[in-house]
């Protein structure tokens, strides 16, 4: 039974593949017929021909719109990838700037605490240096004051990155960065200036690309609807073309002659092969179903035979029980006769 079922499924799959190819060739036949100026063919099923041409024109129109939309979406995707790369570059540059700000702030802090420091820089950073010195001086004292000062100094040093960043911001806001002296300060400031220019350009570029992407996203906002229309009109075109092509195939005797082109003949010949194969598959499936029915009937007979065997066994058992009961009755009758005999 399982083998028959598997065989039917195998044949059905083969038949479905042949049927799909047959419909595909019917569509090709319809396309060839509409591309040909052969008047004899054009007079075959004019209504089906017109329906196919109309459906094909509708499909070609939406196909053109879909291609344009696909190109827009491809450019949008490229733009998004480009923006992502640019955003990463901007973030990386920003991190480098923040690191440089800390380094420049550290240099400034060190200079502000030296005798040769620029007076304006010293004055601007005095809140930071004074606080640091006062903490250090308190640590030199004795008792609880010194202990508390050491704890505060440790916490202050732990957050020195933030302090140096504030030193940088203070000097930048007061336009005192280039008052810093020393080769290291000059090197850091030069790098910072170059990176700041690059960062500014990156920010502008990122914003510009965001605006362009936003405009592109507006242009592609109807892409889902176009995809739905594309699928709808493609299906309509295929159905109309397949119907027209199958009609031409079924009525080939009306238009195929000695002047028929090789393309038509090749398509129709293959369709005939597929059609015959499909019919052969159908016949084979019917035969397999008959075999399956015979197998089912045989199974039913086998089941009934088992039931008969079981019933016969039950009958034998019941007959044995009946015989024993009858023997018991005969024994009882003999006892009754003996009792009567004694009563005489």
Q: Are residues 181 and 54 in the same domain?
A: yes
Q: How far apart are CA 27 and CA 212, in angstroms?
A: 43
Residues 171, 172, 175, 179, Cα dihedral to 10°: 50
Q: Are residues 52 and 172 in the same domain?
A: yes
Residue 248 in 3-state DSSP?
helix
136 pLDDT band (50/70/90 cuts)?
low
Q: Are residues 267 and 181 in the same domain?
A: no
Alpha helices in the chain (DSSP H): 2-35, 39-42, 46-112, 119-139, 144-158, 160-173, 183-219, 223-250, 262-343
Q: Are residues 6 and 112 in the same domain?
A: no
pLDDT tens-place string over residues 214-246: 777 766 666 788 888 889 999 999 999 999 999
- Which pLDDT score is estimated for 147? 47
Task: Examine the pLDDT at 329 and tell me if it is beyond 50.
Answer: yes
Residue 321 is assigned to a structural domain of this protein: yes
Both tokens assigned to 203: 């920010």
Residue 324 is assigned to a structural domain of this protein: yes
DSSP state of 257: -
Who contacts 205 (Cβ-Cβ below 8 Å, separation ≥6)?
A: 86
Residues 215, 220, 222, 225, Cα dihedral to 10°: -170
Q: How far apart are CA 261 and CA 343, in angstroms?
A: 122
- Could you say which of 220, 250, 280 is where a domain stops? 250
- Which pLDDT score is estimated for 316? 93
Task: Examine the pLDDT at 257 and tell me if it is beyond 90.
Answer: no
Who contacts 161 (Cβ-Cβ below 8 Å, separation ≥6)?
A: 102
Rg (CA), the chain: 49
pLDDT tens-place string over residues 258-297: 888 899 999 999 999 999 999 999 999 988 888 888 888 8
- 324 alpha-carbon distance from chain centroid: 79
Residue 50 is assigned to a structural domain of this protein: yes
The total of structural domains in the chain comes to: 2
- Which pLDDT score is estimated for 1? 56
Task: Examine the pLDDT at 322 and tell me if it is beyond 90.
Answer: yes
Question: What CATH number did the domain enclosing 149 receive?
Answer: 1.10.287
> Mean pLDDT across the chain, nearest whole number?
85
| Closest to 172 in 3D by CA, of 102, 113, 115 | 102
Q: Are residues 222 and 96 in the same domain?
A: yes
Residue 39 is assigned to a structural domain of this protein: no
Q: Are residues 90 and 179 in the same domain?
A: yes
| Closest to 12 in 3D by CA, of 282, 272, 275, 289 | 282
Domain that holds residue 150: 45-250
Q: Are residues 195 and 61 in the same domain?
A: yes
Task: Examine the pLDDT at 256 and tell me if it is beyond 60.
Answer: yes
| Closest to 103 in 3D by CA, of 176, 189, 179, 171 | 189
| Longest distance between any two alpha carbons in the chain, whole Å | 161
pLDDT tens-place string over residues 27-86: 999 999 998 777 778 888 899 999 999 999 999 999 888 888 888 888 878 888 888 998
| Closest to 189 in 3D by CA, of 318, 118, 100, 260 | 100
88, 255 contact by CB (below 8 A): no
Residue 244 is assigned to a structural domain of this protein: yes
- Could you say which of 250, 279, 294 is where a domain stops? 250
Both tokens assigned to 16: 């479905």
What's the average model confidence in pLDDT over 149-157?
51
295, 1 contact by CB (below 8 A): yes
- Which pLDDT score is estimated for 239? 95
Residue 212 is assigned to a structural domain of this protein: yes
- Which pLDDT score is estimated for 140? 59
Q: How many CB atoms lie within 10 A of CB 219?
A: 14
- Which pLDDT score is estimated for 144? 59
- Could you say which of 250, 282, 305 is where a domain stops? 250
Q: Are residues 225 and 290 in the same domain?
A: no
What's the average model confidence in pLDDT over 79-95?
89
Who contacts 26 (Cβ-Cβ below 8 Å, separation ≥6)?
A: 241, 242, 244, 245, 246, 248, 249, 271
Q: What percent of the chain has pLDDT over 70?
A: 89
Q: Would the pTM count as exceeding 0.75?
A: no
143 pLDDT band (50/70/90 cuts)?
low
Q: How far apart are CA 182 and CA 121, in angstroms?
A: 14
- Which pLDDT score is estimated for 152? 52
Residue 255 is assigned to a structural domain of this protein: no
143: left (phi over 0), alpha (psi -120 to 50) or beta: left
Q: Are residues 243 and 271 in the same domain?
A: no
Q: Are residues 128 and 73 in the same domain?
A: yes
28, 274 contact by CB (below 8 A): no
Q: Are residues 83 and 214 in the same domain?
A: yes
Q: Are residues 120 and 187 in the same domain?
A: yes
Residue 284 is assigned to a structural domain of this protein: yes
Q: How far apart are CA 177 and CA 30, in angstroms?
A: 80
172, 178 contact by CB (below 8 A): no
């Amino acid at each position: 039974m399982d083998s028959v079922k598997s065989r039917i499924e195998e044949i059905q799959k083969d038949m479905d593949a042949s049927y799909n190819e047959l419909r595909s060739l019917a569509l090709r036949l319809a396309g060839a017929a509409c591309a040909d100026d052969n008047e004899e063919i054009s007079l075959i099923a004019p209504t089906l021909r017109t329906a196919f041409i109309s459906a094909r024109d509708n499909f070609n129109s939406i196909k053109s719109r879909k291609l344009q939309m696909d190109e827009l979406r491809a450019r949008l995707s490229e733009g998004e990838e480009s923006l992502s790369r640019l955003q990463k570059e901007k973030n990386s540059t920003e991190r480098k700037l923040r690191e440089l700000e800390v380094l420049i702030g550290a240099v400034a802090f060190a200079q502000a605490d030296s005798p040769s420091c620029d007076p304006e820089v010293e004055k601007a950073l005095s809140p930071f240096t004074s606080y640091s010195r006062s903490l250090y001086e308190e640590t030199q004292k004795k008792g609880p004051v010194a202990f508390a000062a050491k704890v505060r100094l440790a916490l202050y040093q732990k957050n020195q990155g933030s302090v140096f960043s504030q030193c940088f911001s203070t000097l930048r806001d007061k336009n005192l960065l280039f008052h810093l002296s020393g080769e290291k300060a000059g090197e850091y400031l030069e790098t910072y200036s170059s990176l700041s220019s690059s960062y500014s350009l990156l920010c502008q570029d990122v914003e510009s690309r965001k605006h362009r992407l936003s405009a592109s996203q507006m242009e592609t906002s109807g892409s889902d609807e176009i995809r739905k229309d594309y699928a709808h009109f493609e299906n309509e075109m295929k159905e109309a073309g397949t119907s027209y092509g199958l009609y031409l195939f079924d009525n080939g005797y009306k238009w195929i002659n000695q002047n028929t082109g090789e393309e038509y003949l090749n398509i129709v010949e293959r369709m005939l092969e597929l059609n015959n194969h499909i019919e052969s598959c159908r016949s084979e499936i019917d035969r397999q179903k008959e075999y399956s029915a015979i197998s089912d009937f045989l199974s039913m007979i086998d089941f009934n035979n088992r039931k008969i065997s079981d019933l016969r066994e039950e009958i034998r058992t019941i007959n044995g029980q009946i015989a024993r009961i009858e023997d018991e009755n005969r024994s009882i009758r003999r006892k009754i006769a003996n009792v009567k005999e004694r009563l005489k």
